[in-house]
Structure 1
């Protein structure tokens, strides 16, 4: 098992900027039936101080009709354990763990709305490692995409005013792990993940910068045996369309292209749907898009047509 999937806080707990610590384990599922799911186990700020730290779990269900159901569990002095040998995070009895090489299990329950989730994800394409992002001054981020493309199965259920709902989940899974020390309000970042299980191939990008700095990161590809990267500044991003969605300015069409060594890409992302994450119509948009274009790796060309995935555009200083 990969140690980078384990927790990292204790190795940095004496850093003088530890109040800006963050670490999360993120997973999403693109369901074959059009229903989608997002799970995140998170820790923020100095975990040595339970009065100021923030630890919890968020589960977001995005139905095929565009509606969302969100379950959040976080409160002061919440019980949790972190494993520094492998991915094995437990928060108030909920668990995100690596059960075998490149295979993950999530168990979650919330008495509010009687929410239950049992989920298993196994990787298909190679993991993306070594994604370090050194930012301005003391700020830095580490990022690992352990499952750029995986197979996911599970059961999700909850109750609301309309009764009991149960969904059997089957589809494409994605999992990454992020940690570092940074001021989020001063960061701009782009992130997205798209995959095709028939090839199979995954396309993931992550770019971040702090104020008055240039981007760091890249555009990453993985198949069943290896992974490849186009790193900044060998990537060009062009925003071709914008819309205001729930009060937030978001790109509805963007293209990325670049060439480096034996890798080249020319892809376009178009917004398919924006899910509103929050209470009722008050909340932030979470973007689902379709990627099309061509990728060439060591002379092998992949033609991608409308493969789905999630993408994010966070420019906090624009809000």
Structure 2
């Protein structure tokens, strides 16, 4: 499980870069398809990464899933795999498969990833995950809402990050089998896709995603790379996407608690904005899940966001449950 915190760090840092471009395709979106073949002749292939992430959650339980690839996918120096977990108030049921020899298939027309017979794909405008492990089986269906958006940004030298949010918010359901039990859950969903070239840095970052009654989403991602902060806050609904860059907002950490192996903020205040979008809301810990090592593992945080936003001068109160993350320099 030492690999999983490393993967989570990459997910949020790549996700925090500000908006550069915005494209929508009626059914399938090539921005959510694989990208490796377009860069397979580049240098630094050992530093290539690409993955598809999704979650489903309600106030009591949830599912998180990563289908990931690292390195030169044309050689056995690659790393290909899946991490998936069912989360509830008493335990985290996890499965990870990961090694260079796993059979896999990538689709360059749409989201359609297959790794060792497990799938993450889009069909008729919905997203599906099918996973069958030794001790855990999950089938998940996600209906996506909100205007898709994404960005590409230079990190440093030859390093750059691509990020695409194919499902800013939505609803979903999952069928789970583990330890001889069967579960069915429903909740809010989120899905994004990350790719690029990068090596390890000293990162500091915050990220959170909150679905507000399937009317809109508030998503924030802020990362520090060599002490330079990037990212900001996104407002997304079915017809628009509005972004506030980091230098126009403030982030205050009001309360902290040791969770698993690390001190984590359990109350955060985000406020600021511009003429297009203003924010003044709090994120407070709702539930902490521990991945990997029980009480000493990797914290994965479910938060409650509440406060106000202003979109083109219109004020709205909101409250929502969603996942959030924070890391200091590592």
Normalising by structure 2, we get a TM-score of 0.87
Q: 1:11 aligns with which of 23, 33, 38?
A: 38
Residues 285/182 of structure 1: CA separation in 2 closer, same or farther (3 Å cut): same
Partner of 1:49: 75
Listed one character per residue, the Cα deviations across residues 20-57 of structure 1 (whole Å, up to 9, x for unaligned) are 1111111101136x22111110111222221x221111
The separation in 2 between residues aligned to 1:108 and 1:248, in whole angstroms, is 30
CA drift of 1:66 comes to: 3.7
Residues 292/237 of structure 1: CA separation in 2 closer, same or farther (3 Å cut): same
CA drift of 1:118 comes to: 1.5
The separation in 1 between residues aligned to 2:191 and 2:35, in whole angstroms, is 17
**Structure 1: which 5+ runs fail to align?**
none
CA drift of 1:17 comes to: 2.1
Residues 181/118 of structure 1: CA separation in 2 closer, same or farther (3 Å cut): same
The separation in 2 between residues aligned to 1:58 and 1:217, in whole angstroms, is 26
Aligned length: 303
1:262 paired with 2:282, answer no
Partner of 1:123: 144
* 1:83-232 map, 5 Å: 83-101=107-125, 103-110=126-133, 112-113=134-135, 115-127=136-148, 129-159=149-179, 164-197=180-213, 200-212=215-227, 214-232=228-246
CA drift of 1:316 comes to: 4.4
Q: 1:240 aligns with which of 254, 271, 277?
A: 254
The separation in 1 between residues aligned to 2:117 and 2:61, in whole angstroms, is 26
CA drift of 1:312 comes to: 1.2
The separation in 2 between residues aligned to 1:236 and 1:18, in whole angstroms, is 37
Partner of 2:313: 299
Corresponding residue SS for 2:31 = helix
CA drift of 1:80 comes to: 0.2
CA RMSD of aligned residues (A): 1.7
Q: Which has the higher contact order (CA 8 A, sep 6+)?
A: 2
Partner of 2:84: 59
CA drift of 1:169 comes to: 2.0
Normalising by structure 1, we get a TM-score of 0.90
- Is contact 2:154-2:160 (8 Å) kept? yes
